[in-house]
Chains A and B, each alone.
Chain A
Amino acid sequence: MVHIVDYDAGNVRSVQRACQHVGIDAQITADPEALLKSDKVIFPGVGSAESAVDTLKTRGLDEALKDFYRSGRPLLGICLGLQIILEYTEEGSRDCLGLMEGACERFDFTDGSIKVPHIGWNEVEMVQSHPLLKDVRSGDEFYFVHSYFANLKESSSIYGVTEYGEKQFASIIASDNLFATQFHLEKSGELGLRLLAEFADWQGGSC
C-alpha cells in the first residue's frame, strides 16, 4: 500500500490524482499507524512550513515518518516534503524531521526585481544519475512554487540543482531510500508523471 501523508498542507488530492493517472493506488492518511504499515510513503505539501510542522507533531506523524524512513522503505518528498525532512527551517524557526543534514533558508536577493515566491517552470540540471531520473534530461523544466530552499550539509545527496536569480539550490535530493523534489512533480506535466511512475517501481537505492 502507498500512503500519502495528510497534514493539512494543501495538495494531497492533486498528488493522489497524479498517482491514479500513472496506476499507483495511493490512499490519503493522517494516521501514524497506517503510515508505518505502508510499503511506500509520499510526503507532499504546499504552504507554510511552520503550521505544517506543528500539525505533523500534533498528529504524531513526525515520529511515524522518522520510523518509516529508518525501516528502509521508499519515501518520496515533494516541495514542503523536501524541506521538512531536513533538520531545521528558517520559516517560523522550526525544528524539522532531521532525516538529512541541512536547513531551509529563505530566498534573499540583493536584486529587488527578482520575485519571491519563486513561481513557475524552471530547469533542473542533473548532477548525478539516479534510477528515478532515467527519463529526465538536464535542462528539463518542472513547476516550482516556494520561498524557501534546502541548504544541504552534504553535496553528495544532491542529484539536481536549479538556478533562480543569483542562487543555485538543490531541487532534487536523495539518499538510499529517500527521494525528494523541490518542484511539484504532480503539476509538472508528463515529465513529472513519468518520475512518479518510476517511484512506483523503485525499491530504494541510488544506482
Chain B
Amino acid sequence: MLSKRIIACLDVRDGKLAKSVRFVDTKDIGDPVSKAKEYYDDGLDELVFYDITASSEERNIMLDVVSRVAEKVFIPLSVGGGIRTVDDANRLLWAGAEKINVNSAAVKRPELIAECAHSIGTQNTVLSMDILKVEMSPEFPSGYEIVINGGRTPMGIDALEWALKGEDLGAGELVVNSIDADGTREGYEIKLTRMIAEAVSIPVIASGGAGKPEHLYEVLTEGKADAALIASMVHFGEYTVSGLKKWLHDKGLKVRLRY
C-alpha cells in the first residue's frame, strides 16, 4: 500500500536559508545542505527547495545548492521559484533535482507546463498553485482564485479550473498552496484541498497552514491529499520528521517508517 508522503519545504535566498527559517542548533544557520541532510537522516520522504532569490543573476547559486544536496540526499528533490523556461528546468535537473515546480510563469504562460512535461517528463513536472479564497461567483465558480507574487497579485483565474487545465497540459502532480492558511499554523485549507484532489486524477500535495500533527492527519484523510508539505513546524525544532511520522502511524495512517 502506498504511503502518505511528508515533504519538507526550505526557502532559499542567495544560496542560504531564508530568514524565516531559524534553527535551534546555531551551527546550522543558513546552510540548506546540512538541513536537508538532517531531514533525510530523520526519514523525510521528499524535499522541496523554493528559490526566493530576488534577482535572476543570483540564480546560479541555487544550482550549486541543488548539486551539493544531491550528493548527500537520496530521496526525490524538487525545486521551485523563478522557473520560466525549459532551459531553467533542465539546468536544475542536471544539477540533481528530480522534479521542477512551476508557478507564476505558468500562470502567465500556460504552455510552459506542456513544454516542461514534454522535455523533462510529466512525472517531473509539478504545478504549484497559490490560491486565495474569494466570493463564489460566475467568474470563480469554485470560490477560489489563483494569485501570484506571494499572494499579492490576483490573476482572475478560477483555482479549480486552473488545476484541471494544469493536469490537462501535462502536470504530473499539483501543489495546492492556500495563501489564506499559509503562515497561520492553524491547519491546511481542507475544503480547497479536497475539492481539487477529488477533481483531478494526479497526486495532490497540500501546502500552507501546518502547525500541529493533527493538521497533517486531517489533510491526508479528510482533505484527500497524497502528501503534506511542512515547513516551520520542523524548521523551528518544535517537531521532528520522525516524530510526526510516528504520530501519524499511531493514528493508523500509512507512512514510511523504516529507512
Interface residues, chain A, with chain B CB atoms under 8 Å away: 10-11, 13-14, 17-18, 20-21, 46-48, 112-113, 115-123, 137, 139-141, 143, 145-147, 163-164, 186-193
- Known contacts A18-B74, A117-B123; decide if A189 and B98 are in contact (CB<8 Å): no
A47 & B123 in contact (Cβ 8 Å cutoff): yes
Selected contact of B121 from candidates A18, A46, A116, A122, CB within 8 Å: A46
Inter-chain contacts of A164 with B (CB < 8 A): 2
Kindly state the separation between the CA atoms of A115 and B224 in the bound complex, as whole angstroms.
11
Kindly state the separation between the CA atoms of A122 and B258 in the bound complex, as whole angstroms.
12
Please name the residue on chain B nearest to A144 by beta carbon.
B2
Inter-chain contacts of B201 with A (CB < 8 A): 112, 115-116
A119 & B203 in contact (Cβ 8 Å cutoff): yes
A17 & B96 in contact (Cβ 8 Å cutoff): yes
A121 & B3 in contact (Cβ 8 Å cutoff): yes
A143 & B96 in contact (Cβ 8 Å cutoff): no
The yes or no answer to B114 lying at the interface (CB within 8 A) is: no
Inter-chain contacts of A122 with B (CB < 8 A): 1-3
B172 & A47 in contact (Cβ 8 Å cutoff): no
Interface residues, chain B, with chain A CB atoms under 8 Å away: 1-5, 40, 45, 70-72, 74-76, 93-94, 96, 98, 120-124, 172-173, 198, 201-203, 224, 226-227, 256, 258-259
* Apart from A10-B121, A47-B123: 20 A-B pairs, beta carbons within 8 A: A10-B120, A14-B70, A17-B96, A20-B71, A46-B121, A47-B124, A113-B198, A115-B203, A116-B201, A119-B172, A120-B226, A123-B1, A141-B256, A141-B259, A143-B75, A186-B74, A187-B76, A189-B40, A190-B74, A192-B74
Inter-chain contacts of A140 with B (CB < 8 A): 258
Pick from B4, B74, B98, B202 the residue with the most CB of A within 10 Å.
Answer: B74
Kindly state the separation between the CA atoms of A115 and B5 in the bound complex, as whole angstroms.
14
Inter-chain contacts of A145 with B (CB < 8 A): 123
Kindly state the separation between the CA atoms of A143 and B93 in the bound complex, as whole angstroms.
18
Inter-chain contacts of B198 with A (CB < 8 A): 113
Selected contact of A187 from candidates B75, B203, B226, CB within 8 Å: B75
Inter-chain contacts of B72 with A (CB < 8 A): 21
Please name the residue on chain B nearest to A117 by beta carbon.
B123
